[in-house]
A and B are shown apart, each in its own frame.
Chain A
């Protein structure tokens, strides 16, 4: 009698073989079991895994395994750091499990992209589940996609370069068409004909790997420390402009599928209008962190996308100076020269909310801390081996599927 006679329409399961167990059992396991084992490993062990032998390496790169893995690796999170000065050529990775105390005393491992000889210094444009888009920050003429987990990379067609024009690069994954897209927004300098700010927009989709000009918009964008992808849309904060007596910046989104721009409403609150802000994602919702008076950070969350009334104040974080900042204070003025964005200059950036509800904060690109909103307590984080000045470019789960529409 067959055990499965009671059960008619289940998927085929591999039968156990009778002969002696193979020495290397992982390669003999069905895909779903291997990825289940993988999913319980911290990221650093996954990297080691690829260097054990050829068959494990191909196992790790098997598309069916990575597909399955991407659905179950929620608990397998990591932080990726980009070295910010003096040379921007370093990417570091630290395992990161949000259970309390676990980030403490973690060791970061240093990764060296293979293409550093052709692009000695780069900016990290954005991360999509750990797949990084890197741009040449010396000459602005090169773009790479890079997966730090597999060391797989791909050079993208050269972006348009106009002399003395600043450009902002955006990067994301269009779920509908299942492809990566890169957007280049060139801020056109105001001239006699162009009084209002204006930007030329070009897009590159991985499918046809050609840049094409799509539209001109009446905004000037600021390259965010971390670009925000919510609802299939990229989000930027525009450059501050004088409007009447107050300064004002807009929140603009770009739909990766329809390739169109839209303005997203900001919180109604009058008091917030004069404060600068940066964006982050909290539980899948677009969120904004405002720099208020006395170093206080207010985090607002847009609970229903696109609805102005749904903006809710979630957290208010008081000023804090982490240990890492108190030391070497004299170097700060020097390091400030290298800081790239307005949010960094303000000192603190809310990176994300961890699974345990604590907020990860980055201070002046030099120190990390978590803030527990219920107990209102800060905890300074020390991660060994990260560069002195850094930027968290990715926090969360990762994807190591290289075959995904590259």
Chain B
């Protein structure tokens, strides 16, 4: 890999081009392997495709660029604190629209930090919620019959249904 290259271009599954800096791309193991194996230069005509749609890829790249400096150099506690706050803001997204894709992309790109963050976000959405609140958040229809529902209530009197 030539050291002069600072950013590479990748294609999303929708066919849009995106720039990502080398240091940010290193957060993803498969991208990192690719960087080590393939020589990138400006006249390189091959553009790698990442099987992630444009909308998600924008978010993933945003995350990578934010986290890259810390991952590469190690950061002070105050930085870590600030980054945590940023993560929380970053994860304020629509469940059905994008969280699902972020989770899948983090898994596919082997990005531990983002993967953990996305799983935690999904779990936090359910924490302390009653059954009907969970249904609302995740847009789920209650498909139990009323008899079944009654039986479930009897089985678990401590479970908060409403």
Count chain A residues whose beta carbon lies closer than 8 angstroms to a beta carbon of B.
50
Q: A14-B104, A48-B160 are in contact. Are A3 and B135 (CB under 8 A)?
A: no
CB distance from A366 to the nearest CB of B (A): 21
**For chain B, which range describes its interface: under 10, 10 to 19, 20 to 34, or 35 or more residues?**
35 or more
Asked if A309 CB lies within 8 Å of chain B CBs, one says no
A114 nearest in chain B by CB position:
B155
Q: Which of A1, A39, A110 contacts B46 (CB 8 A)?
A: A1
CB distance from B107 to the nearest CB of A (A): 6
Asked if B92 CB lies within 8 Å of chain A CBs, one says no
* Contact count A vs B, C-beta below 8 Å: 149
Q: A48-B134, A112-B154 are in contact. Are A53 and B159 (CB under 8 A)?
A: no
Q: In the complex, which residues of chain A have a beta carbon less than 8 angstroms from the beta carbon of B46?
A: 1
Judge whether B138 and A24 touch: CB under 8 Å: yes
Asked if A87 CB lies within 8 Å of chain B CBs, one says no
Residues facing B in A1-55 (CB within 8 A) are 1-7, 13-16, 18, 21-26, 28-30, 32-33, 36-42, 45, 47-49, 51-55
Q: In the complex, which residues of chain B have a beta carbon less than 8 angstroms from the beta carbon of A22?
A: 96, 100
Asked if A70 CB lies within 8 Å of chain B CBs, one says no
21 contacts between A and B (CB under 8 A): A1-B46, A1-B48, A3-B51, A6-B34, A13-B107, A15-B51, A21-B98, A22-B96, A25-B103, A28-B100, A33-B107, A37-B119, A39-B119, A47-B158, A47-B159, A51-B152, A51-B156, A53-B141, A55-B143, A109-B156, A109-B159
Judge whether B123 and A40 touch: CB under 8 Å: yes
B120 nearest in chain A by CB position:
A40
Judge whether B140 and A3 touch: CB under 8 Å: no
Judge whether A18 and B53 touch: CB under 8 Å: yes
CB distance from A402 to the nearest CB of B (A): 14
Asked if A56 CB lies within 8 Å of chain B CBs, one says yes
Judge whether A36 and B119 touch: CB under 8 Å: yes
Judge whether A6 and B33 touch: CB under 8 Å: yes
Asked if A111 CB lies within 8 Å of chain B CBs, one says yes
Q: In the complex, which residues of chain B have a beta carbon less than 8 angstroms from the beta carbon of A42?
A: 127
Judge whether B159 and A48 touch: CB under 8 Å: yes
CB distance from A29 to the nearest CB of B (A): 7
